[in-house]
């Protein structure tokens, strides 16, 4: 069991580090391949395909077996990594990142299911999920550092090629040591439903990603995407209601406890993307930090996420899981309240404290949510339920990025246009030949106001998460009566 768990941690590390290590290579990639205007799609292509494939891989794992599917998924991930390392143009790199994302979509739902299978008691599962969260937290710290070292000492290509030996080692460990608990199920795969779901969700996610990048939501292209999403997702629901083995059993949405858990996932992960995306902008544009210092301001989030995950695993058995989640959401409310008051005179220590509290809260929440999913679904639908939760985890990032982008632009676009500063860089390098000291001070205050509006939105999300956590607690108390 220990060797299988090591393989699970390795697989998790592959997906986790991939989300952070690429950021440090972006300047080198654009210098080598050009296509600066396509930078966001290096992230978005990976995000989009991993979101959709997570739920499909989760279902396939229930039908065909977890061992086969995760090995297949990691293999696709490694093929995508190899192709990314060999990319000769920005367009090809984006396509290869999409392939990489398809494989990555298998890792999170199936490894989390395997943890539930390996550890039988809730206490053991909590510790296992704590280690998984620790991997994500540590990756958030060391990913950019490893990426920077590789770019400085070698080339950006090796950031992707580094995955291959670790991925092969993971496959060998799983193939040799993982003895799957066999569950006999019908092996009919809902290809039609999977196709309609993929097309509909790709249209919806593409519209959200593109809209958040351009802030143009009513163009002809956007309207076509909305219509496509509505039509294909509507057909998907029609098909799922009439097939014997749906790719997403709609009965999952009748499970009120799962709905609350998935709602918590949606709002909590949206908060995280708001911190990750806008805190570096605040650090550089408002506080005048350089890129390295701005990145370090996110370190408390990752470090305390790990600490919170370890603490939460130790609390299992002492207090209920629902109470642990409640404590986590209270910490989210406290941290987002603090972030709403950021200004040009805020001390960096205040920011460190706020992000550290938020990281602790997420460390309390994230492992417990997965345990709650495991406890709320049947064994036959476990991978599918976790796959749905993993999809919502990624989908929330697109939703959060879009909403926070709108809030930031509504607050900043008009005031910046008034001083003819709409084309300024958000890295703090304001052109002193174009703007007076008074104008630069005004620009900084406008950006600070935009950041506050983003974190006001985060505060609202945190309050909603706390309310949902209360509902989980109430439901649990009713069950115990």
Look up residue 252 and give its DSSP letter: G
Q: Do domains 1-189 and 248-481 have the same CATH topology?
A: yes
| Residue 291, both tokens | 């890129």
Please provide residue 319's backbone torsions phi and psi, each rounded to the nearest 5 degrees: -130, 165
The phi and psi torsions of 316 (rounded to 5 degrees) equal -60, 130
d(CA 55, CA 97): 19
Q: How many Cα atoms occupy the beta-carbon half-sphere of 35 within 13 Å?
A: 16
Residue 348's nearest CA partner among 277, 446, 282 is: 282
List the chain pLDDT tens, one digit each, 481 residues. 577 888 888 888 777 777 666 766 665 776 677 665 566 677 777 877 887 787 788 778 777 778 888 899 999 999 999 998 888 888 888 888 889 988 888 887 787 777 767 776 666 776 777 777 777 766 666 666 677 677 667 778 888 888 888 888 888 888 888 877 655 455 566 778 878 888 888 888 778 777 766 667 788 988 999 999 999 989 988 888 887 777 777 777 777 888 888 899 999 988 988 887 788 778 877 888 776 677 678 788 878 888 888 888 788 778 888 889 999 999 999 999 999 999 888 888 999 999 999 999 998 998 888 778 877 776 666 667 777 777 787 778 777 877 887 788 788 777 777 776 555 655 555 666 666 777 778 888 888 888 899 999 999 999 999 999 988 754 443 444 3
Q: Is 186 helix (H, G, I), strand (E, B) or coil?
A: coil
- CB distance 18 to 104 below 8 Å: yes
3-state secondary structure of 327: helix
Architecture of domain 248-481: Up-down Bundle (1.20)
Given CA atoms 142, 143, 147, 148 in this order, what sign does their dihedral have?
Answer: negative
Q: Give residue limits of the domains in the chain.
A: 1-189, 190-244, 248-481
Q: Give the C-alpha separation, 70 to 55, whole Å.
A: 13
- What does pTM read for this prediction? 0.74
- Identify the CATH number of the domain defined by range 1-189: 1.20.1250.20
3-state secondary structure of 207: helix
Q: Which two tokens stand for residue 73?
A: 């998924």
């Amino acid at each position: 069991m220990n060797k299988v768990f090591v393989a699970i941690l390795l697989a998790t590390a592959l997906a986790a580090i991939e989300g952070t290590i690429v950021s440090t290579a972006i300047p080198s990639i654009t210098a080598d391949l050009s296509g600066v205007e396509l930078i966001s799609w290096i992230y978005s292509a990976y995000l989009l395909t991993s979101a959709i494939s997570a739920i499909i891989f989760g279902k396939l794992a229930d039908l065909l077996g977890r061992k086969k599917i995760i090995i297949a998924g990691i293999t696709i991930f490694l093929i995508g990594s190899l192709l990314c390392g060999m990319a000769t143009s920005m367009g090809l790199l984006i396509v290869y990142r999409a392939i990489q994302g398809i494989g990555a979509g298998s890792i999170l739902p199936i490894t989390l299911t395997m943890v539930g299978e390996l550890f039988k008691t809730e206490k053991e599962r909590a510790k296992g999920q704590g280690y998984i969260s620790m991997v994500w937290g540590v990756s958030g710290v060391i990913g950019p550092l490893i990426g920077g070292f590789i770019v400085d000492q070698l080339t950006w290509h090796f950031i992707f090629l580094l995955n291959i030996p670790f991925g092969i080692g993971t496959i060998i460990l799983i193939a040799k040591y993982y003895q799957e608990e066999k569950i006999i199920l019908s092996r009919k795969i809902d290809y039609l439903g999977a196709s309609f779901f993929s097309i509909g969700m790709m249209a919806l996610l593409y519209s959200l990603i593109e809209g958040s990048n351009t802030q143009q939501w009513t163009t002809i292209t956007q309207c076509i995407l909305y219509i496509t999403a509505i039509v294909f997702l509507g057909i998907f629901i029609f098909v799922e209601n009439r097939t014997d083995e749906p790719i997403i059993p709609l009965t999952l949405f009748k499970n009120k406890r799962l709905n609350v858990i998935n709602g918590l996932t949606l709002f909590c992960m949206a908060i995280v993307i708001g911190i990750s995306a806008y805190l570096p902008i605040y650090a550089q544009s408002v506080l005048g930090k350089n890129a390295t210092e701005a990145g370090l301001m996110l370190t408390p989030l990752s470090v305390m996420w790990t600490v919170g995950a370890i603490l939460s695993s130790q609390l299992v058995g002492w207090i209920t899981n629902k109470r642990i989640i409640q404590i986590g959401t209270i910490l989210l409310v406290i941290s987002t309240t603090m972030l709403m008051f950021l200004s040009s005179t805020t001390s960096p220590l205040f920011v460190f404290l706020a992000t550290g509290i938020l990281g602790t809260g997420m460390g309390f929440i994230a492992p417990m949510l997965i345990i709650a999913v495991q406890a709320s679904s049947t064994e036959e639908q476990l991978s599918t339920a976790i796959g749905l939760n993993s999809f919502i985890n990624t989908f929330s990032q697109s939703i959060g990025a879009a909403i926070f982008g709108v809030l930031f632009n509504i607050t900043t676009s008009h005031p910046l246009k008034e001083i003819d500063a709409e084309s300024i860089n958000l890295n703090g390098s304001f052109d002193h030949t174009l703007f007076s000291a008074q104008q630069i001070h005004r620009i900084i205050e406008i950006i600070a106001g935009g950041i506050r509006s983003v974190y006001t939105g985060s505060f609202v999300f945190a309050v909603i998460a706390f309310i949902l956590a209360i509902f989980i607690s109430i439901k649990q108390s009713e069950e115990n009566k």
